[in-house]
Amino acid sequence: MSKKSKVQEMDEEMENSQSVNETELNEEVGQEQQEEEVSVEEQLREDLAKEKDKFLRLFAEFENFKKRTSKERMDLFKTAGQDVIVSLLPVMDDFDRALKEISKSEDKELFKGVDLINNKFRETLKNKGLEEMEVSQGDAFDAEMHDAVTQIPAPEKKLKGKIIDVIEKGFKLGDRIIRHPKVVVGN
């Protein structure tokens, strides 16, 4: 072998080692770029998932808000005239007392006239959602439904803890009690 061939061999080895180093470097850089691309892609997917989750939660919250306000609006319409109806309840009581007293008199035409007005008044309030609560003597006393005015000794043992007398009628407007019936309870 000649000197040139040794030099050429060394040059070739150097070039080969450099190309191997460059190839290794290129592969490492390519892997890093690929890892970066994968990590960026993963990051974007995570961000997208977070945003979708936020959107779904916000959408669900908004739907709940719409349902709640719709229900509140319906309740408001049902009980919009509650104050007026509550203020008319004493008038109904007066009608009942007047009819009771007029029935004792001999003027049947007066009784018919007042009874017609009373029925019309009651029907109008019933159409607005007013219901009379059914309470009678002997019913069990319920503190949630009834208002005990007083307690008296029960005339019979079976009337202990039961309603003896109804002093004032109770009324509901829709599902709400607007006036509890006032009762006397046996002790």
* Residue 153, helix vs strand vs coil: coil
Range of the domain at 154: 130-187
165 and 98 housed in the same domain: no
11 and 53 housed in the same domain: yes
Burial of 64 (0-12, 13-18, 19+ CB in 10 A): exposed
21 and 74 housed in the same domain: yes
Query: Which helix (DSSP H) or strand (DSSP E) does residue 115 occupy?
Result: helix 108-127
13 and 73 housed in the same domain: yes
Angle, CA of 38, 43 and 45, to the nearest 5°: 95
What's the confidence (pLDDT) of residue 9?
Answer: 72
**Over the chain, what is the mean pLDDT?**
86
157 and 93 housed in the same domain: no
32 and 64 housed in the same domain: yes
What's the confidence (pLDDT) of residue 7?
Answer: 67
16 and 63 housed in the same domain: yes
Task: Report pLDDT digits (tens) over 79-93.
Answer: 678 888 999 999 999
123 and 136 housed in the same domain: no
116 and 178 housed in the same domain: no
Q: For position 135, which CATH number holds?
A: 2.30.22.10
CA-based Rg of the chain, rounded to a whole angstrom? Answer: 45
Full strand arrangement of the beta sheet holding 182-186? 147-152, 182-186, 163-168
What's the confidence (pLDDT) of residue 109?
Answer: 93
Number of domains in the chain: 3
Share of the chain above pLDDT 70, in %: 83
Classify the phi-psi angles of 133: left when phi > 0, otherwise alpha if psi is within -120 to 50, otherwise beta. beta
Print burial letters for 87-116: b (CB count within 10 Å at least 16), e (below 16): ebbeebeebeebeeebeeeeeeeebeebee
Query: Which helix (DSSP H) or strand (DSSP E) does residue 82 occupy?
Result: helix 82-104
Task: Report pLDDT digits (tens) over 168-178.
Answer: 999 998 888 99
Task: Report pLDDT digits (tens) over 100-149.
Answer: 999 998 889 999 999 999 999 999 999 988 999 999 888 999 989 999 99
